[in-house]
């Protein structure tokens, strides 16, 4: 069973932007995949915003598509 990680939740007034790499990296696993809602504990609306921001950052080459450190 997947346990929820409550540390990933966003603050009420915290804005998600594709430029905030430190915030977006919290929602990506070590393989570079976007974490699901069950793990992050976000609402559906917040999860969509996070996913779209991550995808936009990837397209602009701010975030990598995969983790190359292995």
Is the per-residue pLDDT at 4 higher than 70? Answer: no
Average pLDDT over residues 9-18: 78
- CA nearest 60: which of 8, 9, 24? 24
pTM of the model: 0.79
Is the per-residue pLDDT at 7 higher than 90? Answer: no
- H or E element: which one contains 23? helix 21-25
Give 2's pLDDT tier (boundaries 50, 70, 90).
low
Contact 35, 51 (CB under 8 A): no
Q: How far apart are alpha carbons 32 and 9 in whole angstroms?
A: 19
Q: Could you read off the pLDDT of 19-66 as tens digits, one per residue?
A: 999 999 999 998 889 999 999 999 999 999 999 999 999 999 988 888
User: What local confidence, expressed as pLDDT, does residue 6 receive?
Assistant: 54
């Amino acid at each position: 069973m997947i346990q929820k990680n409550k540390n990933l939740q966003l603050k009420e007034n915290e804005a998600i932007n594709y430029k905030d790499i430190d915030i977006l990296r919290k929602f990506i696993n070590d393989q570079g995949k976007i974490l699901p809602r069950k793990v992050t504990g976000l609402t559906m609306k917040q999860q969509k915003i996070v996913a779209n921001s991550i995808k936009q950052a990837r397209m602009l080459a701010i975030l990598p598509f995969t983790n190359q450190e292995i």
